[in-house]
A = this chain, B = another copy of it.
Amino acid sequence: MRRGKPNDPGRRSRILEATLDVIKTDGISAVSYRGVAAHAEVPLGSMTYYFPTLKGLILTALDSTRSELEPRYAAPLRDARTAADVVDALVDATIGSTSPSLADIRLYEEIRHRGARDPDVAAVLQAVEDDSLLMLQPVAPTRIALAINALLWGWWSHRLAHPDTSLDEATVRGPYEAIVGLAAADHPSHKKEQHRA
């Protein structure tokens, strides 16, 4: 039997959003009940009520990004018909309109960082990556999808380390073309029309 009702149903999700804000700004290690409470303008007691442990709060917050981060460059990749489309989508995901903001890259970096030590967070990371590999499956065999993922993360990581300089499009495009070209050469059953620019 359900008794009692929350008088502020949005409170829980406000806490989660505030947590992500703090993570993006100052990192996971800066997440504290009190800090997030202040940021979300809720009392400390609310924090421990909705999230009895801090680890649980962080994990829930990180997990909530899965549905938000992934689909951004998923659609363009799924719609790609030719190898050139794939390259376009990758370039765009790296530095273009579908690419993550610096804050989002920071968030992603936080997940990777934490994931290296916390198996629960590693699971979140793994889920994102599995999605990504599956998404690339139609355009490249796993072997090459791995390389694409590695390079994509490498470029994002570069952007994070050099926030003031922007990557040239040609710099990014060439290597993607070369790698995607491998897929066509290796295994012509994958999307055809490999060509040099």
Interface size band for A: 35 or more
Docked Cα-Cα span, A113 to B23, in Å, equals 13
Tallying the copies of this chain within the complex gives 2
Contact A146 B171 (CB under 8 A): yes
Docked Cα-Cα span, A106 to B114, in Å, equals 11
Segment with Cβ contacts to B, from A5-13, A44-52, A178-186: A178-186
Docked Cα-Cα span, A83 to B110, in Å, equals 36
**A112: which B residues are within 8 A, CB to CB?**
109, 157, 160-161
- Determine the residue in chain B with the shortest Cβ distance to A151: B151
Docked Cα-Cα span, A146 to B174, in Å, equals 11
Contact B175 A151 (CB under 8 A): yes
Give the distance to chain B from A146, nearest Cβ to Cβ, in Å: 6
**A170: which B residues are within 8 A, CB to CB?**
143
Docked Cα-Cα span, A29 to B113, in Å, equals 11
Does A150 reach chain B (CB closer than 8 Å)?
yes
Central interface residue in A106, A149, A160, A161, by most chain B CB within 10 Å = A161
Contact A117 B154 (CB under 8 A): no
Docked Cα-Cα span, A153 to B167, in Å, equals 17
Q: Which of B125, B143, B149, B160 contacts A116 (CB 8 A)?
A: B160
Does A122 reach chain B (CB closer than 8 Å)?
yes
Does A129 reach chain B (CB closer than 8 Å)?
yes
Interface string of A50-83 (1 = CB under 8 A from B): 0000000000000000000000000000000000
